[in-house]
Amino acid sequence: MLDGQTCLVTGSSRGIGRGIAEDLGEHGAEVVVNYRSSEEAAHDVVDAIEESGGTAIAAQGDISKYEDMEALAERVHEAFGPLDVLVNNAGITVDKKFDNMTKEDWDAVIDVNLGGVFNVTHCFWDDIKRSETGRLINVSSVVGQQGNYGQANYATTKSGLFGFTRTLALELASTGSTANCIAPGFVATDMLEEVPKRVQEKILRRIPLDRFATIDDIAPVIRFMASEDSSYMTGQIIGVNGGMEW
């Protein structure tokens, strides 16, 4: 389904990013597993992809540093040639009520979740435009659609991806490449495990399907966005949230 396509998934050494990378690799893509500091975990992902018959490399780089992304682009080009699919998945949280949020807390999340998306997209922009199957896929969140208590910085960055996606979809349209965005609901990852159980129960009551998402609910949607099957879909925000209103 994705044979011959080179895909970069930022922040793919764990969580949703790992699931996306492994799924793309299992379906024929050449996968670049990006990580900032979790080198061993990133190589575990590469091993898993190769064991499934796929091809992958691990590539270090902090998306908040433009020079790191320039170096990452060189690494990708040396290994596989031009990129076809960019999945902007990497992000961080620094959760606090706005009363207690510092400028440093705000800037830390903005610099990674929006600044980092700019950096990596800008460094691979020409590749995506020139590819016959160019795909820009941004991973947002239901939090960007609804807001969430204690996450003013995070919600701002995730809603910002909507405007970013729709604008770049317009700018890519003449090339035939596309830009789309997925907005997952609450996914059962180690990040969710850190949320107190009473809060998890409160969230669960808001989900009509009465369960948290799994990574297997998210990765196939990304794979569809990366594939030729999605060639007439661009500028879209796809909610995968168990029926939560937004």
Q: Could you tell me if residue 51 is inside a domain?
A: yes
**What is the average pLDDT value for the chain, to the nearest integer?**
96
pTM for the structure as a whole:
0.96
In a domain, residue 245? The reply is no
Do 151 and 93 contact (CB within 8 A), yes or no? yes
Domain tally for the chain? 1
What is the CA 9 to chain-centroid distance, rounded? 7
Catalytic residues: 154
DSSP letter assigned to residue 123: H
Q: Looking at the chain, how many residues does it have?
A: 246
Cβ–Cβ < 8 Å for 76, 8: yes
Query: For position 211, which CATH number holds?
Result: 3.40.50.720
Amino acid at 208: P
What pLDDT, on a 0 to 100 scale, did the predictor assign at position 193? Answer: 80
Note whether 31 and 21 are within 8 A (CB).
Answer: yes
For 166-199, the pLDDT digits (tens) are 999 999 999 999 999 999 999 998 778 878 889 8
Query: In the prediction, which pLDDT does 194 show?
Result: 78
Is 161 in contact with 142 (CB distance < 8 Å)?
no
> Three-state SS for 41?
helix
E-state strands within the chain: 6-9, 30-35, 55-60, 85-88, 135-139, 178-184, 237-240
Domain contains 86:
yes
Helix H or strand E encompassing 169: helix 152-172
In a domain, 116, yes or no: yes
Please tell me the distance from the alpha carbon of residue 200 to that of residue 212, in angstroms, as a whole number.
Answer: 9
On whether residue 102 sits in a domain, the answer given is yes
> In the chain, which stretches have pLDDT less than 50?
none
Segments forming the whole domain that contains residue 214 = 6-240
Q: Give the span between the Cα atoms of 112 and 82, in whole angstroms.
A: 24
Instruction: Identify the pLDDT of residue 191.
Output: 76
Q: What is the pLDDT of residue 182?
A: 98
